Amino acid sequence: MVSDGDLTSVQTELPKHVALTQKEEGCLVFRVTQDEENKNIFNVYEEFVSREAFELHQQRVKSSRWGKVTANAERHYQISEDY
């Protein structure tokens, strides 16, 4: 969930973030959809080949432009590991 003040910058940076993530080694699926009823909510679905690949993704994001743009975003994770 992003604030009204961050919404435009998130929408602007999102396509680049998605493209970079989809190119990451170990990324199987990465989709981000903006909620139809609440424009401030973005739903993310992602799959990686391993927990390690996911953790590498998280590290990259923290030091990226996307990490800066979404620093104030409220995040709720549900992580499942099916092997």
On whether residue 76 sits in a domain, the answer given is no
On whether residue 29 sits in a domain, the answer given is yes
Nearest-angstrom CA–CA distance, 30 and 12: 17
CATH number of the CATH domain containing 17: 3.30.70.100
On whether residue 32 sits in a domain, the answer given is yes
On whether residue 10 sits in a domain, the answer given is yes
On whether residue 78 sits in a domain, the answer given is no
Nearest-angstrom CA–CA distance, 54 and 58: 6
On whether residue 47 sits in a domain, the answer given is yes
Express each pLDDT in 11-70 by its tens digit.
Answer: 999 999 999 999 999 999 999 999 999 999 999 999 999 999 999 999 999 999 999 999
Please tell me the total count of domains within the chain: 1
Question: Coil, strand or helix: which one is 12?
Answer: helix
**Which range of residues forms the domain containing residue 38?**
4-69
Provide the residue count of the chain.
83
The pTM for the full model equals 0.89
